[in-house]
Structure 1
Amino acid sequence: MDSERAHRQLRLIAETVQTAEALGAEVWLRGGWAMDFFLGTVSRDHEDIDWFAWSDDAPALAGALLLHGWRRVPGPPPDGQLDLVKGGLESSLTLVDRDGASRVVVAGGPWAGTPWPEGMLDGESGRIAGVRCAIVSPRVQIEIKRMMPVWDPSRPRRPKDAEDIARLEAALQAREP
């Protein structure tokens, strides 16, 4: 890791994992940090830390993180999401639920009840510099990065998404026998 920002974010990831574990809550890294934990190295600078967490765990998790010096990001909270900041670094927990068929679904907002891709939370743990964390399945990370502009046309694919897809595909291919 080269950047001080990455070091600080990694400490916040470890703190969030420890806090969740102490509560018996589950969290999964998603986005760029999930990719890096799968790869085992920091590949680029990250604007924030993105997570998935169960909506039922959100009140206790938010309360515990606030006790550890986190603050809510100013402004109205988006439905189905918890945005926090500590030391000028943002962390966003996207909340998920299960539907009647036990599928992982969007917990709130205009897409509440919409299923996320199958197997999304079945991924392995990843690790960087001694910090271990559950991550979104790498195959599902690719699917989300490919499909987000289709699911939500207001969120076009960014160059970093194409780069992340290529990195994940190469790493998955290298792991196949």
Structure 2
Amino acid sequence: MDYKNGTEEKDISKSQLKIIRELNEICLSLNIDLWLRGGWAIDFLLGKITRSHSDIDLVTWIQHREHLEQALVNDGFQLMPVSEFQTDFLKNNVDVSFVFVRYSDNGDIVANGFPEWVWRKDALPMEPYNLRGISMNVLNPYQLLEEKKVYEQGTGRTLRPKDLKSMEIIKRSLM
């Protein structure tokens, strides 16, 4: 189904955007820095919805984990702990995934529980992008590209067609 003509996909995007707005407001109220990653990050970078998304991917600092988890549970999100690296939530049939990062002993940004994944020094810019009245920080586009490489190396699975398309979109946006 073509996104532009698909009512179901528009409804899914509308639900996900509502959750993104809600998450952003919660984090702002708690003074927690938050970044979009994945497909929604690309859409915010471009200022338009490029396709339907299966979930919402976000990043924040590990020191905010407990406070954030409690705030989201209090707001009606269902907590689904995954690992040291990630916590997932569900609300209104929208899947939300948080990856937590920290500084390593030598000052690198690393994914918590996955210290061999060293992030770019400029991975987390405090530069909001806007989409449909929502203003969000987004991972650095180069970091978004590196995530795709890490996905393939870390999982041993080849990149999916949507990953290849995302990489092409990011590369074009960097030109």
TM-score with structure 2 setting the length? 0.89
Q: 4+ residue stretches of structure 1 with deviation over 4 A?
A: none
- On the 8 A contact 1:145/1:161 being kept in 2, the answer is yes
What CA distance in whole angstroms lies between the structure 1 residues aligned with 2:103 and 2:71?
Answer: 24
| RMSD over equivalenced CA pairs, Å | 1.7
Shift of residue 113 of structure 1?
5.6
Shift of residue 99 of structure 1?
1.3
**What is the SS of the residue equivalent to 1:161?**
helix
What CA distance in whole angstroms lies between the structure 1 residues aligned with 2:32 and 2:128?
Answer: 15
Residue in 2 that maps onto 1:164: 166
Residue in 2 that maps onto 1:15: 22
Cα distance change, pair 94–24 in 1 and its aligned pair in 2 (3 A):
same
Which residue, out of 107, 111, 130, partners 2:112?
Answer: 107
Residue in 2 that maps onto 1:143: 146
**What is the SS of the residue equivalent to 1:29?**
strand
**What is the SS of the residue equivalent to 1:11?**
helix
Shift of residue 112 of structure 1?
3.3
Residue in 2 that maps onto 1:79: 84
Q: What pairs with 1:34-45 in structure 2 (closer than 5 Å)?
A: 34-45=41-52
What CA distance in whole angstroms lies between the structure 2 residues aligned with 1:128 and 1:155?
Answer: 32
**What is the SS of the residue equivalent to 1:79?**
coil
Comparing 137-146 and 125-134, the one that deviates more: 137-146
- On the 8 A contact 1:50/1:91 being kept in 2, the answer is yes
What CA distance in whole angstroms lies between the structure 2 residues aligned with 1:79 and 1:57?
Answer: 13
Alignment-mate amino acid for residue 15 of structure 2: R
| CA deviation map 1:117-140 (0-9, x unaligned) | 331112632211110100000122
Which residue, out of 117, 121, 124, partners 1:118?
Answer: 121
What CA distance in whole angstroms lies between the structure 1 residues aligned with 2:95 and 2:155?
Answer: 24
- On the 8 A contact 1:99/1:113 being kept in 2, the answer is no
- On the 8 A contact 2:148/2:163 being kept in 1, the answer is yes
- Structure 2, unaligned runs of 5 or more: 5-9
What CA distance in whole angstroms lies between the structure 1 residues aligned with 2:146 and 2:126?
Answer: 14
What CA distance in whole angstroms lies between the structure 1 residues aligned with 2:118 and 2:150?
Answer: 13
Shift of residue 86 of structure 1?
0.2
Alignment-mate amino acid for residue 134 of structure 1: N
Shift of residue 72 of structure 1?
1.2
- On the 8 A contact 1:122/1:136 being kept in 2, the answer is yes
